[in-house]
Amino acid sequence: MSPRRLLPALGLAALTAAGFAAVRPWEVDASGLRDRIGREFSAYGLVLAAEGPARIRFLPLPRLSFERADLSDSAGTPLAAGGRLSIVLDPLPLLTGRVAVGSVVLDGARISLAAGTGDGRWTPALHALSARLRDGGAHHPQRIALNNAHLVRDGADGPATEAEDLDLDLAWPAWARSVTGSAALTWRGQRTRIAFDDLRPAVLAAGGETPFSVSLASPQGNLRAEGTARFTDRLKLAGRGRAETPSLPRALAWLGRDAALLPLAGRFTLEGRFETDGAAVMLPQVRVGVGDNVLDGAGQASLATPRAAVQATLAADSLNLAPLLGQILGILGADGDAAPRIALGPITGGDLDLRLSAAAARIGPVQAEDVAASLLVRDGAVEAALNRGSVQGGTVKGRITLNASGIHGSETEVKAQGSFDQVDLGSLLIDLGAARWVLGPSQGHFTLESSGRDAAELAAHADGRATLTIERGAIVGLDLADVIQRHGGVAAGALARRNGRTAFERASLSLRFADGIGEIADGRLQAATLSANLRGHLSLPERSFRARAELNPRAETARPGPLFDLSGPWDAVAVRAARADEAGPALPPRAARVDGFPSLPSLILPAPARAYAP
């Protein structure tokens, strides 16, 4: 080969060998390089400890790697341990003989978090970074990445894994003012992805406002938010966002938090403006979706502890509270044969102060209008109030409080009171699924107190009063004047045809309850041609009714009218004619066992007795 061809060939071979050598990693003494890199980390309050030899390669960019590296703060507190550390050196400072970190990649490390809210383990490093940025430090790592990392929280019982398989990538190019990042991690068995953009660390470190946008996606729900961020003594955010979850109880359990009425919640959405100041969240304009209900208003929350505290004022055009009522009846054992214990703990896991209003609301089968209500939940206590509501042309008000009592809250104290005025009773009976057997505007009130471990004990310990008055009404389906003329008999087919009618001036009923037994202290009906009296008892534990009804004509010369005894369970009351010399109804015995409360329509006197009862 001629020299003219040999020299280029040798040059090409040398260049190839040099390139191969530059690309191939080389083992070098780690001590000197570790000290040089360690000084770069110390500027951020971090202490680097590396074991074993270091490997370095020069192409495509100078890269230095340590097989095992540990990071700690200046006091020796572990921050990250056991990871493989790869550092890409910034090539421009190398030309002047200075070592500068361009990017950092940590694989398989164990990242230690704070043991509690007061233990800011990474706080010194963040403060050092903020100080470096405030002092005009232009150089910073352009990329920080974690691969297959594990987050652990050190506590009194040892380290507990918080997240696994964490992949984090933060990009902050030298020519850009903002940071973009993404992360994927397994949090309590659920793979979660997070992404954010537009955040400007230099502005944030200087105490100024920086834009941001963030999104989170997991099987438990999604979150999107954008706005501005500021950091003074604590982080403050403001902007708009939307959060949604198919199941609020599962989502909060996944986050390790609790909230009031949690077992009653389901599909949940939250959308609107927000402002945060540390652990305090203000919602000056928010739209809340719970199931099929949509409410607008404002609120605030405190998330400083696992027990969240929420205050809100919400309004809706229309509310459907039937599913919520069904869940409550299920907890009380009112919709089945079982009577489970009433435990306030699961529904008082957080503090709640809620003011609620609706133009129309459906409460079970009842339609209400112009509703104003409130709900107050504290540890072991619930207070619900219907401050105003219009039902069938009348006004309804009520309040109920539940308080845990007994050893370890094993019992529940119940206090309830309510009133109604000018309610069309006939239309209300139709809403409740019962026959429209009585007409007229009704008014009344009730008070009730009880305590017990389950619905059966609450029924057995009930004390209180209840009154009902109907002015200028009518009994539909039976003519009581005709019954008097027939000496207690009913015309054949009259009950089936329901063509009878008894108009009355006033009907009243007064009940006094003691230990679950209600005494009919005053039951009267005044009509133009007759009057009627009702005396007897009803038993909440037995769900039974025993009473005597007496019909009398209003004429002074008329002889006494017929007597009727009514007795039996609420859903099958038997009516029979009685003689004046027979003893009246006796006090029913207390039941040894109760299978739960009846459904609301069955509390109305059933069909066999409606034709006779005043």
Bigger pLDDT: 250 vs 399: 399
Q: Maximum Cα–Cα distance for the chain, whole Å?
A: 153
**What pLDDT does 135 receive?**
65
| 151 shares a domain with 124 | yes
| 449 shares a domain with 366 | no
Maximum mean pLDDT: which of 34-48, 61-75, 208-222, 490-504: 208-222
CB 509 within 8 A of CB 467: yes
**What pLDDT does 18 receive?**
40
- Residue 146 CB contacts under 8 Å (≥ 6 apart), including other chains: 105, 106, 107, 109, 111, 166, 167, 168
CA pair distance 470, 463, nearest whole angstrom: 24
| 455 shares a domain with 309 | no
Which stretch of 312-316, 317-321, 439-443, 486-490 has the lowest confidence by average pLDDT? 486-490
Residue 335 lies in a domain: no
| 477 shares a domain with 605 | yes
Confidence of residue 123 (pLDDT cuts 50, 70, 90): confident
CB 301 within 8 A of CB 308: yes
**What pLDDT does 35 receive?**
75
At 324-377, the pLDDT tens digits run 766 666 655 544 445 567 777 777 878 889 999 999 998 878 889 999 999 898
Residue 182 lies in a domain: no
| 415 shares a domain with 398 | no
Q: Which domain holds residue 138?
A: 22-176
At 184-236, the pLDDT tens digits run 999 888 899 999 998 888 888 888 899 999 999 999 899 999 999 998 878 89
| 294 shares a domain with 369 | yes
Q: Is 588 helix (H, G, I), strand (E, B) or coil?
A: coil
At 266-307, the pLDDT tens digits run 788 999 999 998 889 999 999 999 888 899 999 999 887 778
CB 497 within 8 A of CB 477: no
| 378 shares a domain with 352 | yes
| 453 shares a domain with 349 | no
Residue 70 lies in a domain: yes
At 300-322, the pLDDT tens digits run 998 877 788 899 999 999 988 87
Which stretch of 6-10, 68-72, 382-386, 510-514 has the lowest confidence by average pLDDT? 6-10
Last residue of a domain, one of 390, 408, 426: 408
**What pLDDT does 115 receive?**
52
| 576 shares a domain with 532 | yes
Number of domains in the chain: 3
Residue 496 lies in a domain: yes
Last residue of a domain, one of 126, 147, 176: 176
Residue 414 lies in a domain: yes
Residue 574 lies in a domain: yes
Structure tokens at 131: 């100080």
| 402 shares a domain with 450 | no
Last residue of a domain, one of 360, 388, 408: 408
What percentage of the chain exceeds 70 in pLDDT? 76
For residue 450, pLDDT over 90 is answered with yes
Give the mean pLDDT of the chain: 78
| 591 shares a domain with 457 | yes
Residue 454 lies in a domain: yes
Full-model pTM: 0.77
pLDDT mean over 245-261:
79
CB 237 within 8 A of CB 276: yes
| 136 shares a domain with 96 | yes
Owner of token pair 């894994």:
161
Residue 382 lies in a domain: yes
